[in-house]
Amino acid sequence: MQTTKTCAVIGAGPGGMASAIRMANKGYRVTVFEANGWAGGKLSQSVEQGYRFDMGPSVFTMPQFVDELYTLSGKNPRDYYDYISLDPVYRYFYEDGTHIVAYKDPEKFAEEVAQKTTESKETVVRYLRDVQQKYDLTADIFLHNSLHKIGNYFTGRVLRGILNFGKLEAFKTMDKSNRTWFKDPHVVQLFNRYATYNGSDPYQAPATLNVIPHLEINLGAYLPKGGMYAITKGLVKLGEDLGITYRYNTRVKRIVLQNNRATGIETEQNGVEPFDVVVSNMDVYNTYKHLIPEARKPKTTLEQPKSSSAIIFYWGIKHSFEQLGLHNIFFSANYPEEFDHITRKKQLYNDPTIYLNITSKKSPDDAPEGCENWFTMINAPHNAGQDNWDEMIAQTRENLIHKLSRNLGTDIRPLIACELIWEPRKIEAITSSAFGAIYGNSSNNKFAAFLRHANFSSRIKNLYFAGGSVHPGPSIPLCMLSAKITTNLIPNA
């Protein structure tokens, strides 16, 4: 018997797609409304002159959270998408010529660090064990349950984490903790970099975030076959196989409220449509601003400082560089100054750290033969009303070309065959990320995890939230968990 219960999902980002799949498995008839003509949100792609680019997330960890959507649906994940394990994971380049290769095996990685720096292998191994312990203590508190349901705090594993709260170093910064562990600035900078995975500043963010390298170094990093966009294609196909309806180029104008209850949505094309449940995958700030402007807003949550953003130059390069891998980092010579510019001055630093992702290293079809597809990214402030974006972007382009040419010993300027640019204003316009802040609220506050919006509305019945701007936070794994936490709050149809 077909259910008569219906669910609207606003936005086809990773959290929206995952929520839709889980709601279909709970017996709902699900419709996903997407303003753009494609699914994926930031997890999208672009093809230009034979070069394919993943437009957003480029590091894939904890694939089991994506696979779970398929097994929940009675499907084999490998029938929809597949992935390979990366080794090495990263190549790090420093201004003084130091080059560290981050191998898949934590022991081998520790040996590499010991050979290239003044740190010992034993110290690195102890550090990686420590961040694993921190993850084990925090996962049930911060990642797998709602922080906004009091009953969740009384399970055994959560109580264990709370009782060991002192070990999480929440009142230290990431940088201070890492400088306690390591004396060599190369290694401190390497581990400080993980603050950028959720748009944070390692000189302000709590050391609790040092769990992030555990996910990549201890648990491993992967690449979907066909690039990151293969995740999106697989989830859309799974959704369609479950009977989910995707409506593209359909912008939701408002969520219909009656007596503090969400009763449907309104679009320009079809007017008001009734739904029993509404899940917003849209940035929570813009959900309140544009879709429920009449509702009382949780000001403390919505007015939290926003995360950083990014500027990405997608370059088709008419050359192949043997010294580069899939993931490459070219560090700034002055990391504190770089973050001071991003976080405090809301400007771009003239010597930024460059993240260079080249999927054609593993997927040759992503670029013409003998060429490479460069995803060339720097961290940037969010759009806080700066009036010099065009000037900053043009100068940054010159800085990146100069820095990469110097480090690679080759002038890359004449090698650029095509170019796309992604920057905070465009990110805001296309993905509805408030202020172009990729990761929602900043995590620089030691209580930031508790200040993210809940996965449900405490004032509006039948309205829920999923995705990177709400609990537990940004990244593909966390968006998968956000959808799980959200839909677990909703009764079966």
Nearest Cα neighbor of 293 from 347, 256, 268, 320 is: 256
The number of C-alpha atoms within 13 Å of 319 and in the hemisphere containing its C-beta is: 14
Alpha-carbon dihedral 39, 42, 43, 44, rounded to 10 degrees: 60
Cα torsion 446, 196, 332, 42: sign: negative
Instruction: Name the amino acid, one letter, at 178.
Output: N
**CA end-to-end span of the chain:** 12
Which domains are delineated in the chain? 6-43+227-304+443-488 (3.50.50.60), 110-219 (1.10.405), 308-431 (3.30.519)
Query: Do 255 and 463 form a contact (C-beta atoms < 8 A)?
Result: yes
Specify the DSSP class assigned to residue 370.
T
Hey, is 408 helix, strand or coil? helix
d(CA 369, CA 362): 13
Pairing assessment for the beta strands 90-93 and 327-330 based on DSSP bridges:
parallel
d(CA 31, CA 3): 14
- The residue whose two tokens read 């081998």 is 108
Q: How many CB atoms lie within 10 A of CB 429?
A: 11
pLDDT computed for residue 1 by the predictor: 39
pLDDT computed for residue 2 by the predictor: 54
Cβ-count burial of 368 within 10 angstroms (0-12 exposed, 13-18 middle, 19+ buried)? middle
Nearest Cα neighbor of 480 from 63, 43, 137 is: 63
**Residues 115-138 as b or e (16 or more Cβ within 10 Å = b):** ebbebebebbbebbebbbebbebb
Cβ-count burial of 409 within 10 angstroms (0-12 exposed, 13-18 middle, 19+ buried)? exposed
One digit per residue, the tens of pLDDT, for the chain of length 493 reads 355 899 999 999 999 999 999 999 999 999 999 999 999 999 999 999 999 999 999 999 999 999 999 999 999 999 999 999 999 999 999 999 999 999 999 999 999 999 999 999 999 999 999 999 988 887 766 665 655 555 554 455 555 555 555 566 778 999 999 999 999 999 999 999 999 999 999 999 999 899 999 999 999 999 999 999 999 999 999 999 999 999 999 999 999 999 999 999 999 999 999 999 999 999 999 999 999 999 999 998 899 999 999 999 999 999 999 999 999 999 999 999 999 999 999 999 999 999 999 999 999 999 999 999 999 999 999 999 999 999 999 999 999 999 999 999 999 999 999 999 999 999 999 999 999 999 999 989 877 667 789 999 999 999 999 999 999 989 999 999 999 999 999 999 9
